[in-house]
Homo-oligomer: A and B are copies of this chain.
Amino acid sequence: MSALESVLVVGTGLIGTSIALCLREQGVTVYLTDRDAAAVRLARELGAGIEWHPGRPADLAPGVAWHPGRPVDLAIIAVPPHVVAEQLAQLQRAGAARFYTDVASVKALPLRLAGELGCDLTTYVAGHPLAGRERSGPAAARADLFLGRPWALCPTEETSPDALELLRGLVKLCGGEAVEVDAVQHDKAVALVSHAPHVAASAVAARLADAPAAALGLAGPGVRDVTRVAAGDPGLWTGILSGNALPVADVLEAVAADLAAAAAALRASAAPVPPSEEAAAAGTAMSTVTDLLHRGVAGTGRIPGKHGGPARTYAVVQVIIGDRPGELARLFQVAEETGVNIEDVRLEHAPGLPLGAADLFVQPEAAAPLSEALRAHGWHLP
């Protein structure tokens, strides 16, 4: 197998442009194309590569690069899930590349459509880098977006060993961790850990759209966390959900059933019964709710934490801070002098006041020395 020397990125959104930036840093020649001329121009200006024009050279302005004249090593199709296969067929007809992949967040659909369109499946490996941001578009792209993140590859029986090897090389160049997984299993997994949670967050947030203003006045950090992802682009998400319809529907039905059962149990717990049976009846009904809460605790405990390992328990050191430039700098300065690494930090602002608390997450053994050092420097630890 030859090395990855030239790549064509079709679709210069967040993911496509991020891969391009990363490959450019590694010295790979990158051609860019997008149906949105502004997006491809922005990606080019960010240093992601040179524009690729499959069309007639006569149309081109002087000095603009076009089709390299021979197939590139790899075409990376970074377009919405339902148009991946069409794009693949078109590129293969043009002989654009030796190998092909895509980066859509669902995998069974593009593979099925590619088969239906008669694409050559020996040179195509369906892929999905598990990386994303709340922002989209080329301006949000970063070369390190894939660093240490899983990158699913879904080879089939038809995939040639050379194609798979080239793709493993791409993932490695981007700093990702290749995870080879069957396309159907992939889609079920992302339905569970990404697509259905997004819809559930939307449904919770949707209740707030028409809520009385006074109710919103009682909102705190909890509901902000639960609903944060629901701020994502509805158009983008409709495409993703539509491309993974059945696995997402399975999870949503189970979640809806649990919530309906919890609602029924709550109603039953509040229903009038003879006083002698009241406590027992309410207790039986509420056990459905308690059980759901326990299953929830078990589920959160299985989500991997930092550094890919199992979720870790850090100690939390809380410090009261003012809302002025330099407060955090001074705080972290003390941590540095004490030789303590801050693993994570969360600022809790007190609404309405220029004061808040910083939760510093540190290794359990570092909590006592850090607290002592902060107190010695005059910080207020509640």
Q: Is the CB of A130 within 8 A of B218?
A: yes
Query: B222, B316, B320, B357: which contacts A229 (Cβ < 8 A)?
Result: B222
Of A35-43, A57-65, A261-269, the segment with at least 4 beta carbons within 8 Å of chain B is A261-269
Report B-chain residues with C-beta under 8 Å of the C-beta of A301: 231
Q: Could you tell me the dominant secondary structure of chain A's interface residues?
A: helix
Chain A residues 241 to 275 lying within 8 A of chain B, measured CB to CB, are 241-242, 245-246, 248-260, 262-264, 266-267, 269-270
Interface assignment of A196: CB less than 8 Å from any CB of chain B = yes
The distance in angstroms between the C-alpha atoms of A248 and B142, with both chains bound, is 42
Of A94-102, A118-126, A174-182, A371-379, the segment with at least 4 beta carbons within 8 Å of chain B is A174-182
Q: Is the CB of A230 within 8 A of B340?
A: no
Query: B186, B226, B345, B353: which contacts A175 (Cβ < 8 A)?
Result: B353
Q: Is the CB of A218 within 8 A of B349?
A: no
Q: Assuming A203-B292, A226-B226, is B297 touching A217 (CB within 8 A)?
A: no
Number of chain A residues whose Cβ lies closer than 8 Å to a Cβ of chain B: 139
Of A48-56, A155-163, A326-334, the segment with at least 4 beta carbons within 8 Å of chain B is A326-334
Interface assignment of A27: CB less than 8 Å from any CB of chain B = no
Q: Is the CB of A320 within 8 A of B290?
A: no
Q: Is the CB of B246 within 8 A of A296?
A: no
The distance in angstroms between the C-alpha atoms of A336 and B330, with both chains bound, is 9
The distance in angstroms between the C-alpha atoms of A242 and B254, with both chains bound, is 22
Q: Can you pick out 18 interface pairs between chain A and chain B where the beta carbons lie within 8 Å of each other?
A: A135-B316, A143-B382, A148-B352, A179-B214, A189-B215, A190-B218, A193-B211, A196-B207, A203-B258, A206-B298, A207-B299, A209-B302, A225-B228, A245-B266, A246-B270, A252-B262, A256-B257, A325-B339
